[in-house]
Amino acid sequence: MNKYNVSRLAVKNAIARLGLTNAQAPNALIKYAQGSSFVWSLGSTSGSQAVYDNYNERVRLVIAENGTVLDVFPIDYALQSPHNLSEEVRQSLKESTKETLIARRDKTHRKWCETELAFHENSYEIAKVRLQLIDASVEEAATLNRRLADLCADNKRLHEDRSALRKERTELERALVPYI
């Protein structure tokens, strides 16, 4: 888990924008940062700062490369006040965010499907090797056991990959809900 620091400005903005107290803000911001997902790098800062979203807490954070939380907003901050943006800009922002989230969700779903297929192909190979082990001689059994161990290690890795992709897809689907 990454170690995060909190800037004074982030604490001040958390108090104003999120309604936290001065005592609550630093710990809450660290908690939000730990549960956040990368969204994009801020191009104007040569990649030294990036935007992260914590979908569960519905906050957007700006975090420096060194792990300092620089700013915090409610996730739909720009869309909350009619004084912040014109209706046309708000709708455009909503649509582009929705399209970006859908594209990321679809890309993650495709990766998950490919990993799921590889997992089941590998499981099929494991079953074939186990079937061969039934009638194998001692020399063949040693070779088959080594192959089985390699296949099982691959299967474990594939299972972890598909679980991570399923979790990422679920997070993206949750993030998409406010825009549908």
pLDDT of 27 reads 87
**Do residues 65 and 94 share a domain?**
no
- Cβ-contact 101, 172 below 8 angstroms: yes
**Do residues 63 and 111 share a domain?**
no
**Do residues 114 and 173 share a domain?**
yes
- Cβ-contact 15, 7 below 8 angstroms: no
Please indicate, yes or no, if residue 133 is contained in any of the structural domains: yes
**Among 159, 60, 43, residue whose Cα is nearest residue 112:** 159
| Angle between helices 87-134 and 138-176 in degrees, nearest 10 | 160
**Among 29, 8, 14, 19, residue whose Cα is nearest residue 73:** 14
Q: Last residue of some domain: 75, 103, 124?
A: 75
In this structure, which amino acid lies at residue 71?
D
- Give the pairing type, strands 5-6 and 37-41: unpaired
CA distance 31 to 54: 10
Q: Which residue's structure tokens are 């906050």?
A: 59
- pLDDT tens string for the chain (180 positions)? 578 888 888 888 888 888 888 888 888 888 888 888 877 776 555 557 778 888 888 888 888 888 888 888 887 655 455 455 556 666 766 777 788 888 999 999 999 999 999 999 999 999 999 999 998 898 999 999 999 999 999 999 999 999 999 988 888 888 777 777
**Do residues 127 and 154 share a domain?**
yes
pLDDT of 78 reads 52
CA distance 118 to 167: 18
Phi-psi region of 104 (alpha: psi -120 to 50; beta: other; left: phi over 0): alpha
Our count of domains for the chain comes to 2
This prediction has a pTM of 0.53
- Cβ-contact 78, 92 below 8 angstroms: no
Phi-psi region of 67 (alpha: psi -120 to 50; beta: other; left: phi over 0): left
Range of the domain at 19: 5-75
**Do residues 67 and 123 share a domain?**
no
Handedness of CA 150, 155, 160, 161 (dihedral sign): positive
